[in-house]
Structure 1
């Protein structure tokens, strides 16, 4: 299951939640295929104003930070470089499309690989 956690300042997020969830789900399905739409999990973490800092100061606007949980096997395939590039590009485009193109060049996406046997669902290790 692809898991995306998006951290963004609450004022930037407010009113954009449904659009952002939809755009990110579309991005996942675009790369993985339609089957992934039903298993994509999107978490939106709104950070209250005054609790996000850059260069030692609180800011009113900040580039979103996305953590994309992905199976390690996806990043060890022969086409893993292209897959990673497509994931980063489509997720960045989705977020910029909802929150504003002016943020595009500063949106951070981190692909976090999980080894086989290190994911559980309902208290049971999922091996695939």
Structure 2
């Protein structure tokens, strides 16, 4: 199940939460299909400006950062390069749709593989 954690300044996020959850979910559905909609999990993490630093100083206007948890099997598919490119582009476009074009150049999207058998739900290891 796709998990997206978005770090963004709290002041930029306020009032945009629902729109961001919807556009990110739509971006994932555009790649995987409608069947995935109910599986997309989005965590929005709003940070005060003094808690986001770049180069050892508080950042003045950082772009959102996205960590996208995805099953490792997705990277072994024959079309993995295309899927990764579509996810990165779609998630970036979703962020830009909500926060504006000014953030595009700095938006980071990191796809992180979850190895089968190394995740648990409700205290039980999830097996493939």
TM-score (norm 1): 0.95
Structure 2 matches for 1:74-113, cutoff 5 A? 74-113=74-113
Gaps of 5+ in 1: none
Distance 1:103 1:110 in 2: 16
Gaps of 5+ in 2: none
1:124 Cα shift? 1.8
Distance 2:20 2:59 in 1: 22
Partner of 2:51: 51
Distance 2:115 2:82 in 1: 20
Contact 1:24 1:91 in 2 (8 A): yes
Distance 1:95 1:110 in 2: 14
String of CA shifts for 1:51-86, please: whole Å, max 9, x gaps. Answer: 111232213421111000000000111110001001
Contact 1:12 1:61 in 2 (8 A): no
Question: What is the aligned length?
Answer: 128
Partner of 1:116: 116
Contact 1:5 1:68 in 2 (8 A): yes
> CA-atom RMSD, angstroms?
1.0
TM-score (norm 2): 0.95
Distance 1:126 1:80 in 2: 23
Distance 1:121 1:58 in 2: 36
Contact 1:28 1:87 in 2 (8 A): yes
String of CA shifts for 1:20-60, please: whole Å, max 9, x gaps. Answer: 00100111111111111101000000001211112322134
